[in-house]
């Protein structure tokens, strides 16, 4: 939590790339996975997951990770709009930053909901599933898109 509040219309910058792959996207994922201020533990988990992915797929793990995030990103979502006393679920396009954040959150949530294995193995499996466009993360994305499609009639309320 920052000590000083942001001024209106001021945005935070992106983190620097991570130490091994120099990827800003991976650095963001590590920061999101960071639990109770133990960033070094989050880095160990991610890099161990990358080793597992390299063994199982034979591909470069950063490419699998990027493809997984890209596949899991939602293009549309529904946002509530209150019009004349009624609340409508209005489908809207998702900005790039928010869509990648949602994809990261969904992948972490899916990995945390699995039981019985270490986190690095669960994360590696989620990354591989999402890169192949299968698994619970892709189901969540499809459900989001279906909800937006079902509420297409309220698209004219978007402003």
**Spatial CA neighbour of 105 closest among 61, 136, 84, 134:** 136
Please answer whether residues 28 and 17 qualify as being in contact, where contact means their C-beta atoms are separated by less than 8 angstroms. Answer: no
Question: What's the whole-number mean pLDDT along residues 75-96?
Answer: 92
| pTM of the complete model beyond 0.75 | yes
Residue 52's nearest CA partner among 116, 121, 132, 111 is 121
Which residue pairs from 111-118 have beta carbons closer than 8 angstroms and sit at least 24 positions apart in sequence? none
Residues 114-150 have pLDDT tens digits of: 999 999 999 999 999 999 999 999 999 999 999 999 9
Which residues contact residue 85 at a Cβ distance below 8 angstroms, ignoring those fewer than 6 apart? none
* pLDDT tens by residue, 23-56: 999 999 999 998 789 999 999 999 999 999 999 9
75 confidence band (pLDDT: 50, 70, 90) = very high
pLDDT value of position 155: 86
Following CA atoms 46, 50, 53, 55 in sequence, which dihedral angle do they give, to the nearest 10 degrees?
-130
Model pLDDT, residue 1: 65
**So what's the pLDDT on residue 143?**
96
Measured CA to CA, the distance from residue 28 to residue 16 in angstroms comes to: 9
């Amino acid at each position: 939590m920052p000590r000083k509040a942001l001024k209106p219309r001021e945005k935070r910058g992106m983190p620097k790339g991570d130490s091994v792959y120099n990827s800003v996207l991976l650095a963001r994922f590590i920061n999101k996975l960071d639990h109770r201020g133990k960033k070094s533990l989050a880095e160990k988990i991610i890099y161990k997951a990358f080793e597992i992915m390299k063994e199982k797929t034979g591909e470069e793990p950063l490419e699998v990770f990027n493809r997984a995030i890209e596949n899991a990103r939602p293009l549309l979502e529904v946002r509530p709009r209150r019009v004349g006393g009624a609340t409508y679920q209005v489908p809207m396009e998702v900005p790039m930053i928010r869509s990648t954040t949602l994809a990261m959150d969904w992948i972490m949530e899916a990995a945390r909901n699995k039981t019985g294995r270490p986190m690095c193995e669960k994360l590696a499996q989620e990354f591989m599933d999402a890169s192949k466009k299968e698994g619970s993360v892709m189901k969540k994305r499809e459900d989001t898109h279906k909800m937006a499609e079902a509420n297409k009639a309220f698209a004219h309320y978007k402003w």
